[in-house]
Amino acid sequence: MIALIIRRLIQSIVVMLTVALIAFTLFRFVGDPVAQMVGQDTSLEDRAQLRERLGLNDPVPLQFARYVGNTVKGNFGISYRIGRPVGALLAERLPATLELSFVAALFALLVGIPMGIYTALHPERWLSKAFLTISLIGISLPTFLIGILLILLFGVVLGWLPTFGRGAVVDLGFWTTGLLSVSGWKSILMPAFTLGMFQLTLIMRLVRSEMLEVLRTDFIKFARARGLTPRAVHFGHALKNTLVPVITITGLQLGGIIAFAIITETVFQWPGMGLLFLQAIQFADIPVMSSYLVLIALFFVIINLIVDILYHVVDPRLRIERQVGAGQ
Amino acid sequence: MWSTRACESSAKSGRDSEMTPLERVRDSADRLLDSDVYYSFRSSRVTVVAAAITAVLFLAALFAPWITPQNPFDPGSLNLLDAFTPPVWADGGSWKFILGTDDQGRDLYSAILYGSRVSLFVGFASVTFAMILGVGLGLLAGYMGGAVDSIIMRVADVQISFPAILIALLINGVLRGILPREQFNDVAVFVLVLSIGLASWVQFARTVRGSTMVEKNKEYVQAARVIGRHPVSIMVRHVLPNVMGPVLVIGTIGLAVAILTEATLSFLGVGVPSTQPSLGTLINIGQNFLFSGEWWIVIFPGATLALLVLAVNLLGDWLRDALNPKLR
């Protein structure tokens, strides 16, 4: 287990360094950092001085090392567009994005898994067919279109839910949350549904196909022959064995949720990191873009790491195989 | 499933050189109608409908200039006084603008057909680009093996753990930083093709690499190697035709994904400029008028996009099953 964790950790560090290199290249070579920081009337000498002071004349590997050092310390540079430190900007907006992603993932899991189980256990009922049709539409409808349709229905026509923003936000010092106020909950409903819809269909289809496969295996037949109740067979035996791939895919999708939050945040003007990143792209605000890239990569790498480890914890077969291999 | 007619026609095709061109066309048409792929097509009603919808949308986009009353890309043909005309069945609608007009007086029916053109062009071009890149790299990795293989596949591994939309956004943002702003709108379509293509080559590469590794140990490849053919010639002339089957399936599903990605990027405001709107751009424009009650500007382009993606997705699903020998 420890060897596995160390191996995965080294892999993750390599990936992070690669991403940091890309971000550094962006930061350093796309556009001239000095020209972005000074006004039109700055003399060439002042520019040269600034260049020297920023260390832009040092060898590139040294600059890269300094960039990595700064990034690790949370010093991401200053936004060209807003003129404030990127680290502070991201920290302000992180809670909004994480809250949205978390609620969306929870929604997708709590609705997707039961729907998948139902369609697998009763494949011929009309409700199952309705679920499958919905899932096909859910995959084909673009995220932003679902969001717009929701706004049109619940925001404009019915007027039940707010159509933009986070609602009233409570500041906890280190974290701002919208989940402690009624307007915050009302505001998160539509964005979370929009964001979770795609993952929901994915999880539902996955649970369904895995469960159908498991239900065909011998140990399920044997469990039925032993006279166990359908409930024990379905949930105690079948469901348990379908959850391994579900955990993997769901874990990997969590990263996808954070990335797709860019779209949802734009539709609902949700003040998160995705919206910041999108505005950075429109204005070619390289420091924000490269820092967002590094941060997202970090999320992905951590999630992948946890999923890998979890996979080995949940599936005993992987452990036994290795022990046998080690014993020989 | 093989009728006598099929046997006759396949026997006939042995005398290929003796047939007149007309006979040859009729022969290949006969063989197509008798193939099991066509049989599975005909027996799936959903697929036939999906194919019909796809064909209608493709043809409508292709012949847009001849079947629309207005060229929405030409500012001279627009009249601001026509702006916000509702569809024909609503109060104040007119037969001149069947689906109503947008904020600039663009006829939505014309704009949708011209917009589908842009969407389909970007979709096809980026899938073709991704296919050439992915198939090329996959062939190279599978055939050469060793260091080439590990470098290409490590890059693929890292890339596939990030969602394609995020990568496309990044490439788009970087190019936006490099190119001067005035020129950007002229090349926006090609930037889109480039960023979507670069974001989606991995699937092609993985599949082709896998089948290439199987093919390269077969006798015909060894024979070609023994008679001293150049490796490139072996890869392209001998291995490539034998690994193209699955590529077709990935390409079809990839087309749906590419159309969606384009629409999403355009919706986010980093795609094609609003002077030459694609379906995504139209939805983006329409979104601004949701709250003032002009729902048709967003609904009709949105419905067209959803229909197109759904139909192509269904075709891709069918193709995957029809070409999968395990399911026959």
Reported for B175-183, long-range contacts at CB under 8 A and 24+ positions apart, including other chains, are B176/A281, B176/A282, B176/A284, B176/B270, B177/A26, B177/A30, B177/A31, B177/A284, B177/A286, B178/A30, B178/A31
Contacts of A163 in chain B (CB under 8 A): 291
Q: From the CA of B177, how many Å to the nearest CA of chain A?
A: 5
User: Residue B168 has what pLDDT?
Assistant: 84
Find, in chain A, the residue whose alpha carbon is nearest to that of B262: A142
pLDDT > 70: what percent of chain A?
Answer: 88
User: Residue A85 has what pLDDT?
Assistant: 82
When mean pLDDT is compared over A6-15, A304-313, B124-133, B290-299, the highest value belongs to B124-133
* Closest among B93, B287, B87, B89 to A156, alpha carbons compared: B287
Query: Which among A15, A31, A148 is the nearest to B177, CB-wise?
Result: A31
CATH number for the domain harbouring residue B225:
1.10.3720.10
d(CA A12, CA A25): 20
Query: Is residue B188 in some structural domain?
Result: yes
Number of structural domains in chain B: 1
pLDDT per residue as tens digits for the range A176-222 = 777 767 777 778 888 888 888 888 888 888 888 888 888 888 888 88
B173 near A281, Cβ under 8 Å?
yes
Local confidence band at A321 (pLDDT 50, 70, 90 cut-offs) = low
Query: Is residue B77 in some structural domain?
Result: yes
Instruction: Tell me the three state secondary structure of residue B107.
Output: strand
pLDDT per residue as tens digits for the range A65-105 = 887 887 777 777 777 777 788 888 888 888 888 888 888 88
**CB-CB under 8 Å, A266 with B268:** yes
**CB-CB under 8 Å, A142 with B306:** yes
Contacts of A282 in chain B (CB under 8 A): 176, 269-270
Per-residue pLDDT at A31 exceeds 70: no
Query: Is residue B220 in some structural domain?
Result: yes
**CB-CB under 8 Å, B283 with A286:** no
User: Residue B66 has what pLDDT?
Assistant: 81
What number of residues does chain B have?
Answer: 328
d(CA A35, CA A46): 11
Q: Does residue A53 or residue B212 have the better pLDDT?
A: B212
**CB-CB under 8 Å, B302 with A148:** yes
Would you list the domain boundaries of chain A?
A: 89-261
Q: Which residues pair with A323 in a beta bridge?
A: none
User: Residue B7 has what pLDDT?
Assistant: 45
Per-residue pLDDT at A44 exceeds 80: no
**CB-CB under 8 Å, B291 with A262:** no
pTM over 0.90: no
Report CA-CA distances (Å) from B306 to A43, A312, B61: 55, 40, 15
> What is the domain range of residue B105?
21-327
Query: Is residue B79 in some structural domain?
Result: yes
Amino acid at residue number A135: S
User: Residue B11 has what pLDDT?
Assistant: 46
CATH of domain A89-261: 1.10.3720.10
CB pairs under 8 A between A and B: 107
**CB-CB under 8 Å, B305 with A142:** yes
Find, in chain A, the residue whose alpha carbon is nearest to that of B270: A282
A171 phi/psi in degrees, rounded to 5: -95, 120
Query: Is residue B112 in some structural domain?
Result: yes
Query: Which among B158, B264, B290 is the nearest to A263, CB-wise?
Result: B264
**CB-CB under 8 Å, A267 with B162:** no
Contacts of A255 in chain B (CB under 8 A): 161-163
Q: From the CA of B166, how many Å to the nearest CA of chain A?
A: 6
User: Residue B129 has what pLDDT?
Assistant: 94
**CB-CB under 8 Å, B290 with A148:** yes
- For chain B (length 328 residues), average pLDDT per consecutive 10? 44 56 77 73 80 87 78 70 67 68 76 86 92 92 86 81 80 77 77 88 89 87 88 86 83 87 85 80 81 78 88 83 64
B91: DSSP letter: T
Query: Is residue B46 in some structural domain?
Result: yes
A292 near A280, Cβ under 8 Å?
yes
A105 near A198, Cβ under 8 Å?
no
User: Residue B82 has what pLDDT?
Assistant: 67
Q: Does residue B128 or residue A134 have the better pLDDT?
A: B128
User: Residue A40 has what pLDDT?
Assistant: 66
Query: Which among A141, A163, A296 is the nearest to B166, CB-wise?
Result: A296
Instruction: Tell me the three state secondary structure of residue B319.
Output: helix
User: Residue A38 has what pLDDT?
Assistant: 65
User: Residue B18 has what pLDDT?
Assistant: 67
User: Residue B127 has what pLDDT?
Assistant: 93
User: Residue B135 has what pLDDT?
Assistant: 92
Listed in sequence order, the DSSP H helices in B63-201 are 64-67, 108-144, 146-160, 164-178, 181-199
Burial A111-146 (b: 16+ CB within 10 A, else e): bbbebbbbbbbeeeeeebeebbeebbebbbbbbbbb
- ipTM exceeding 0.85? no
Contacts of B255 in chain A (CB under 8 A): none
Query: Which among B162, B177, B268 is the nearest to A263, CB-wise?
Result: B268
**CB-CB under 8 Å, B256 with A144:** no
**CB-CB under 8 Å, B267 with A263:** yes
- Residue B172 touches chain A, beta carbons under 8 Å: yes
Contacts of B314 in chain A (CB under 8 A): 136
Per-residue pLDDT at A169 exceeds 90: no
User: Residue B22 has what pLDDT?
Assistant: 76
